[in-house]
Amino acid sequence: MLSRRYELLEPLGRGGMGVVYQARDRELERIVAVKVLPAQMLRDEDFRARFRREARAAAGLSHPNIATVYDIGEDIADGDPVPYLVMELVEGGTLADLLRQAPPTPNEAGQIVAAVLEALEHSHEREVVHRDIKPANIMVHRAGGRVRVKVMDFGIAKLMSETATRLTATGMRIGTPSYMSPEQADGKPADARSDLYSTGCVLYEMLTGRPPFTGDSPTAVLFQHLHKTPQPPSQLNPALAPSWDQVLATALAKDPQQRHRDAAAMRQAIETGSAAPTIQAPAPAPPSAFAPAARLEAPLPTEPAPTEPAPHASALHASHSPGLGERSAPASATQYHVVAAPPRVLTRRRVLTGLGVAGLAAALPAAYYAFTREGTATLLGQPLAGHNGVAHSVAFSPDGKILATGSSDATVRLWDVATRALLGRPLTGHHDGVDSVAFSPDGKILATGSSDETVRLWDVATRTPIGRPLTGHTDWVLSVAFSPDGKILATGSRDDTVRLWQL
């Protein structure tokens, strides 16, 4: 028992930074995962400091593709401190297990790595570098024709804004050799582009069945990361389209400046097969991890589609369900490995419009625009700042006086439109990001849908919850809408269903 609250039930796994247990939260009556330092490390202040670093970095992240941190604390056992981290218990197994048992198809590999890159977009925006992306730190759950991905263990993450400490001093290698960037292997500082290199190594292994470099010892592998060129993946897997070589040529560039500009650019290159800009324009020809240099502008060629997906394959890459997640694509796009996806719905990750509204990140959680007949937009005042996560959804009250915003920080905020002032405290109660918000026609009730698979109703005047959460969906609730008379609520979910609720 930790802190008289967390009852440890059974060990789930061990790693370099801790032991993970399945545990019961006796206060909230739920099953969680608790990570504690190994006993032999409890007296080592260096490891304890790294553990506290993990807790601080991970607690600041809130994204559907990142394991949620519920609590951090420290207990005493036999006179020694026992720091611990309480996280959500994630279903499924690690990608390392999946690679051994039922390797993903190229389509599914693209979907998995795109989800990892979404998680890295979120962490990098908050200046958190993972530094140890590898299959063992990626959880994959195949269920109901979908693949859900969670990135685990920001245990050696480094806050880029911090000055160097002896934990991350030059010359100290932190990471896993098979997936370590050349700069990490050389003992140099790592940044977001190091994560992209490691993600490229993971993608390479999913496509070929082995990491880009192997050897008899960690030193031999590190030497290759620094000095050798990996084989193009299509040479190891003749059935693989050569276009994957083009994506990985950029991801695995030795020079960080010649990799994809950021996680979003790498994800775009995978999704669309188009050229993705690097940090600085290459000249005269694009530098490549492979020789000769590969062109990036060619789309991903056709991959023969089986009549029925293999038993282990997700329906996400079946002919009727192309693209990543729940995105749809034109029929002509399904011929590629990972199809080009249309813009995401407004409730996901960033609010997009064809008129150039920028993505609303943590420091810019909401903004609203007045549109003229000519189709231009004028920003009104300063951005509304207050959320500690991505603004997933926004909605005006029927009279236009109140703006509701839902965020990945699991809260909803109400704003006075005229003064742009926050109205009271945030609405709390969801256990995951709020993906959708909607006012009733009379403006008295606010409905919110969440990645915690529930819908909640709130009294707008008092900002208090109405009744219990509406349960029944088995995946993220991405949309909510009231009928014109306000008597029925419709909810849409990633579980492929729409539900109607009599209010």
DSSP annotation string for 11-33: EEEEETTEEEEEEEETTTTEEEE
Q: Which residues of 190-223 are buried (b: 16+ CB within 10 A; e: fewer)?
A: bbbbbbbbbbbbbbbbbbbeebbbeeeeeeebbe
* pLDDT computed for residue 325 by the predictor: 38
Sign of the alpha-carbon dihedral angle for 344, 105, 12, 17: negative
Give 108's pLDDT tier (boundaries 50, 70, 90). Answer: very high
What are the backbone dihedrals phi and psi of residue 40, each rounded to the nearest 5 degrees, phi first?
-70, -10
Q: What is the C-alpha to C-alpha distance for residues 178 and 219, in angstroms, rounded to an integer?
A: 10
Pairwise CA distance, residues 101 & 303, whole Å: 22
CATH superfamily, domain 93-335, is Transferase(Phosphotransferase) domain 1 (1.10.510.10)
Exposed, middle or buried: residue 4 (CB in 10 Å: 0-12, 13-18, 19+)? exposed
Torsion over CA of 385, 386, 390 and 396, rounded to 10 degrees? Answer: -80
Q: Distance (Å, rounded) from C-alpha 498 to C-alpha 1?
A: 42
What confidence tier does 16 reach under pLDDT thresholds 50, 70, 90?
A: low
Examine the pLDDT at 363 and tell me if it is beyond 50: no
User: Residue 261 above 80 pLDDT?
Assistant: yes
Amino acid residing at 25 = D
Quote the tokens at residue 234.
């299509």
Q: Is the domain covering 6-88 a CATH 3.30.200.20 domain?
A: yes
* Rounded (10°) angle between helices 192-208 and 263-272: 30
Quick one: average pLDDT of 97-104? 90
Specify the pLDDT at position 495.
87
Instruction: Please report, in range form, the residues annotated as the binding site for ATP.
Output: 35
> Which pLDDT score is estimated for 117?
97
Residue labelled with tokens 């300063």: 382
DSSP 308-343: S--TTS-GGGSTTS-SSTT----GGGGGBSSPPPPP
> Residue 123 is inside which H or E element, if any?
helix 106-125
Going by C-alpha positions, the residue among 98, 143, 137, 5 that lies closest to residue 453 is 143
Q: Which CATH architecture has domain 369-502?
A: 7 Propeller (2.130)
**Among the options 132, 153, 452, 495, which is catalytic?**
132
Residue for token pair 């324009």: 281
Residue 432's pLDDT is what? 87
The better pLDDT of the pair 109, 297 is held by 109
pLDDT at 351: 32
Tell me the per-residue pLDDT of 271-323, one tens digit each, with 9 for 90 and over: 886 444 555 444 444 445 664 433 333 333 334 444 333 333 333 333 333 33
pLDDT score recorded for residue 153: 79
Residue 394 is predicted with a pLDDT of 94
What is the value of pTM for the model shown? Answer: 0.54
Question: Looking at residues 203-222, what average pLDDT do you find?
Answer: 92
- The per-residue pLDDT of the chain, averaged, comes to 77
User: Domains of the chain: which residue ranges?
Assistant: 6-88, 93-335, 369-502
Is 195 annotated in the active site?
A: no
Percentage with pLDDT > 70 across the chain? 71
Of the pLDDT bands very low, low, confident and very high (cuts 50, 70, 90), residue 43 is: low
What distance in Å separates the CA atoms of residue 5 and residue 32, rounded to the nearest whole number? 12
Fold agreement (93-335, 369-502): no
Q: What is the mean predicted confidence (pLDDT) over 239-268?
A: 93
pLDDT on residue 175: 59
- Burial class for 305, CB neighbours closer than 10 Å (0-12, 13-18, 19+): middle
Tens digit of pLDDT for each residue in 319-358? 333 333 333 333 333 333 333 333 333 333 333 333 333 3
Helix pair 243-251, 263-272: axis angle to 10 deg = 170
Write down the pLDDT at residue 340. Answer: 34
pLDDT at 154 over 90: no
